[in-house]
Amino acid sequence: MTVNSHFDMTVLVKENGSHQVCTSGPYKIVRHPGYVAAIIGAFSYPLVLGSWWGLVAVLPLCFLFIIRTVLEDRTLQKELPGYKEYTNITRYRLIPFVW
């Protein structure tokens, strides 16, 4: 959130042209570092609490983050100028060298 002033919980490309692609910090490695942090956090809570059943609840949540990543990436490629070129530079959405 520090390096991306447009980080938000909703996918919204501003019409006035002020919305720009963030390519610094963790955005050099993956296109959606906020979701990476959320997924790691989701897995850490049940482990910290010692609840194996909590991991069962985390799996659907992580699946939803993956779906959201795909949909958001598709929207940004269509609506945000320069994002398509950014995808050629930063190739991975969530996991470096994998996806």
Q: Does a structural domain hold residue 13?
A: no
In this prediction, residue 12 carries a pLDDT of 61
Distance, in Å, from the CA atom of 4 to the CA atom of 83, rounded to the nearest integer, reads: 14
Average pLDDT of the residues in 23-29: 90
Domain span at residue 53 reads 29-89
The pLDDT value recorded for residue 14 is 61
Q: Is 50 helix (H, G, I), strand (E, B) or coil?
A: coil
Q: How many domains does the chain have?
A: 1
Q: What is the pLDDT of residue 97?
A: 84
Residue 17 zone, left/alpha/beta (φ > 0; ψ -120 to 50; rest)? left
Flag whether 48 is in a domain.
Answer: yes
In a domain, 58, yes or no: yes
Find the length of the chain. Answer: 99
Taking the model in full, what pTM does it have? 0.77
CB 72 within 8 A of CB 11: yes
pLDDT digits (tens, 9 = 90+) for 41-96: 999 999 999 988 888 989 999 999 999 999 999 999 998 889 999 999 999 999 99
Mean pLDDT of 20-45: 91
Phi, psi of 5 (to 5 degrees): -70, -10
Confidence of residue 10 (pLDDT cuts 50, 70, 90): low
Classify 8 as helix, strand or coil: coil
Query: For residue 22, what pLDDT is reported?
Result: 84
Here the tokens at position 77 are: 């490629």
36 located within any domain: yes
